[in-house]
Amino acid sequence: MVDLYGQYFKIKDEVNEAIQEVMDSSAFIKGPAVKNFETKLAEFCSVEHVVSCGNGTDALQIAMMALDFKAGDEVILPVHTYVATAEVIVLLGLKPVFVDVDPHTFNIDTTQIESKITDKTVAIVPVHLYGQCADMEALLKISKKYELKVIEDTAQALGALYTFSDGTVKQAGTMGDIGTTSFFPSKNLGCFGDGGALMINDASLTEKSRMIANHGQQKKYHHDVIGVNSRLDTMQAAILNVKLKYLNDYTLKRQQAASYYNEKLSEVEFLNTPYVASNSTHVYHQYTLTTEGIDRDEFKKYLADHGIPSMIYYPVPLHHQKAYKHLSSESFSVAEALSKTVISLPIHTEMDHEIQDIIIDKIKSF
Ligand SMILES: *Cc1c(COP(=O)(O)O)cnc(C)c1O
C-alpha cells in the first residue's frame, strides 16, 4: 500500500545525519529539533502555534482536555472514520453523537448536523477523510450559530487546502479551534514511529495544550492541571524536520498518481473514482474507490490473488463496532453502504506509471 523504504532511500543521508545529531547530543526528550519542527510546521500550515505530542490519538485527547469538556458533554463526529476519533471521546467520559457522511466526499454530512445538536452539545469533530477537507464553511456556520467548538481531525489531510466562498484559502487543521494530526509512518507526513501535533491559533489554548501534553506542568514538578505524558521524541522531530521540506513534493506525487488512476479507471464500469469537491484540494492519503454492481470482497480477493494489495477503510462503521454499538441504535445508511463498497488502492510517493499499469491491468481483467 505504501513504499516507506523507497521514500527513505531517496533522503537517506540527510535523515541519517539528522538522527546521528540527536544521538550525539543525547537530548532525547524535548531537544532543539522539537521546537524547530513546531515552528516549521506552524509556518507551513500558516497557523500561529503548533504543539507536538506522542501521536494523533493523543492530539485529539489533549485538544478535548484543553477545551475543558466535562463528562456527559456531547461531541458530534462522523460515523465513517478511524476509531481514534470516537475512542478519545468515550475515554474522557463524553458522549459521541454520530452523524452519517456525504456519499460523494465520504466526509461528515453537514446537512445532518443541526438535528443532532442538544443543550449538551459542546463540539463538532470533522474528519478530513482520505485527504479531502470536510465542508468547513457549512460546518463553521453551524458551530458559530450554536457556539460549539470545532476540532478538525487532520490525520489524513495535512497540506490539503480549503477555499471559502469569499475566496479565502486555509490549510486543513487551521479553520476550527484546534486541528490535530498524526505522523504515523504511513501518513502523508510520517516519522519513523509515532508522533502527532495540534495546530492552534489561540495563545492561551496553546499554553494549556502544551501543559496537558507534559503532565500538566509548566514548571517542572508543579502540576497545575491533570495532564498526560505525550511528547514527540527528539529523534522523530529531527526526521520530520527533514521530511517536511518534501511534503509539497510528496503531495504532488500522490496527486499525480491519483490523476493517472482516475484517467485509466474512469472507464471501468464497476468502479467509481474518487469525487473531489470544488472547495477542497485532495492530498490522497488514500485513493478510495467505491464498487458498483459487484461483490467488493470478491474483487478484493481477486486482486490479492494476483499480488495487488488493497485495503478497506473501514470495513465496520463505528456504530456497529462491538465496543461502540451500545452508544447508538440509529442506522446510518451511507456509512453502512460504504463499509461494503469502499476499496483503497496502493498510493504513495514512489509510484510510477509502470507500477500503476500493473494494478490497472489486473483491475480491468476482473
Ligand atoms: C491515523 C489517524 C488517527 C490517529 O493517529 P495515530 O497517530 O495513529 O494515533 C486519528 N484519526 C484519523 C482519521 C487517522 O487516520
Quick: pLDDT tens for 278-312: 999 999 999 999 999 999 999 999 999 999 999 99
Instruction: Yes or no: say if 40 and 247 are a contact pair by the CB < 8 Å rule.
Output: no
- Please tell me the distance between residue 153's alpha carbon and the centre of ligand 1 in angstroms: 8
Within 6 A (CB) of ligand 1 lie 55-57, 81-82, 84-85, 127, 153, 155-156, 182, 184, 194, 196
- Among the listed ranges 65-69, 105-109, 130-134, 215-219, which one has the minimum average pLDDT value? 215-219
User: Which atom belonging to ligand 1 lies closest to the Cα atom of 182?
Assistant: 7
CA distance 96 to 76: 6
CA distance 174 to 235: 26
> 260 is written with which cell numbers?
493517472
pLDDT tens figures, 197-247: 999 999 999 999 999 999 999 999 999 999 999 999 999 999 999 999 999
Name the percent of the chain lying above pLDDT 70. 100
The yes-or-no answer on residue 187 being catalytic is yes
- Please tell me the distance between residue 365's alpha carbon and the centre of ligand 1 in angstroms: 34
* Residue (of 165, 172, 183, 99) closest to 133 by Cα position: 172
User: Which atom belonging to ligand 1 lies closest to the Cα atom of 84?
Assistant: 10
- Residue 104 confidence class, pLDDT cut points 50, 70, 90: very high
Q: Whose CA is nearest to atom 2 of ligand 1?
A: 155
CA distance 89 to 69: 10
**pLDDT value, residue 202:** 98
pTM, to two decimals = 0.97
- Please tell me the distance between residue 21's alpha carbon and the centre of ligand 1 in angstroms: 29
Question: Which 3 state secondary structure label does DSSP give 142?
Answer: helix
Q: Whose CA is nearest to atom 14 of ligand 1?
A: 155
Name the percent of the chain lying above pLDDT 90. 100
Q: Which of 95, 149, 187, 243 is catalytic?
A: 187
* Domains along the sequence of the chain with CATH: 4-244 (3.40.640.10), 247-364 (3.90.1150.10)
